[in-house]
Homo-oligomer: A and B are copies of this chain.
Amino acid sequence: MPASAIRKLVPFSEAAEAAGVKVYHLNVGAPDIKSPDCATQAVSARCNGMHHLSYTHSAGLIDLRRGMVEKYYRKLGLDIETSQLLITVGGSEAFASAMQIAAGQGDEIIVVEPFYTNYQTYAFLNGITLKAVHSDIREGFRVPDISEFEKILTPATRAVLLSNPCNPSGKLFTKEEMLAIGDFCRRHDLFLICDEVYREFCYTDEPYFSALQIPGCEQNVIIVDSVSKRYNLCGARIGCIISRNQEVMACALKYAQARLCPPVLGQYAAIGALDTPDSYFQEVREEYIRRRDCAVEALNAMPGVYSPMPYGAFYTVAELPVDSAENFAKWLLTDFRMDNETLMITPAASFYKTPGAGLKHARIAYVLEVPQLRRAMNLLATALSEYDKCLKK
């Protein structure tokens, strides 16, 4: 199983913190936004006087499935039925299951790089090979022409897998890009697995275009979703898999039965979260726009640094003027200090399949409040200048 550059850094960050150094964590997508009160209160209410905590249906509580369909997806204009949705253990189980449904040992799945590294983990565990279409930082990570997809298509290709908005790049796929990919999948009879867990975090005036809205792709599309980011309930471990393809849902249910049921207390939180007012999302969105603008402006003001403007999620990928983003990220934790503070970033090479790609790229999660984020950016600017001097010595 491939080693994870991200995980390799954790001991260094723990050592720095144990030594009393303040570490600004721009490395993980673990935001500090408050969860809606209706979510946590729903759990308390259920636990008060509870007799025992039994299994639910393997597909999840019907109140949650129906509630998501009627109170959440319908509001977005996404017309699905309860039978087309199954509750999973976070988005993680949803895409693991989707990948297993779409492909088996020896099969191939096309991803757009940079991509979420855990896709690689589940591919490895299932003997699936990921083949990458390259999207370039200098082109704002726009999706390349479909001819690039055609080039790596083989008889073993079973699916295209992408996250929109994209973790790690923050890229928001355009409607045209989604239609082109949908057309490619339909023509070649491939599944289109679309991880939409950052759907609420879009910073354009265009309405979000879901893979569920691609005409004629009803049998191809498998949606991965989660309440983790939407309501900042990452720890609830509640996600879902959605498809209008009945065979896909039958297969998802079989897999789900093997693990009995999704976490029930998390399901209670998710049911409560369905009553989250629209104002919550507006406020969160405005907050992230402030953070994004702060981070991206600061990054591009640093000599030799380039970050395109991300229009979704809460990440950006920046090119750094360093020999290796991995070495630099480690050095930040082991050597660099300013007033006993430093920061942690994610080297981005593991988000790429193409050898040598992304070696100087880092993913920055703008998950701190603006004053803290500004401080972290100051640290980064100083660190880059010091690192440059160290290298030249």
Contact = CB atoms under 8 A, between A and B. Distances in A.
A76 interface: no
Contacts of A52: 31-35, 232-233
A237 B264 contact: yes
Interface stretch (A86-94, A213-221, A344-352): A86-94
Contacts of A30: 54-55
A369 B176 CA distance: 61
Given A51-B34, A232-B52, A232-B53, A260 B92 contact: yes
A90 B53 contact: no
A118 interface: yes
A31 B51 CA distance: 11
Among A32, A35, A265, residue most surrounded by chain B Cβ atoms (within 10 Å): A265
A41 interface: yes
A261 to B, nearest CB: 7
A47 interface: yes
A302 interface: no
A93 to B, nearest CB: 7
Nearest to A232: B52
A199 B49 CA distance: 27
B43 A47 contact: yes
A122 B232 CA distance: 32
Contacts of A93: 259
A337 B169 CA distance: 61
B258 A235 contact: no
Interface in A54-71: 54-56
A262 interface: yes
A259 B96 contact: yes
A263 interface: yes
A374 to B, nearest CB: 22
A339 B255 CA distance: 38
A266 to B, nearest CB: 5
A55 to B, nearest CB: 5
A42 to B, nearest CB: 9
Contacts of A1: 251, 254
Nearest to A265: B265
Contacts of A324: none
Interface of A: 1, 4, 7, 28, 30-35, 39-41, 43-44, 47-48, 50-56, 89-90, 92-93, 96, 100, 105, 118, 121-122, 125, 127, 232-237, 251, 254-255, 257-266, 268-269
6 contacts: A35-B51, A44-B44, A90-B259, A121-B258, A263-B263, A263-B265
The 6 closest A-B pairs by CB, nearest first: A235-B264, A263-B263, A265-B265, A53-B235, A121-B258, A92-B259
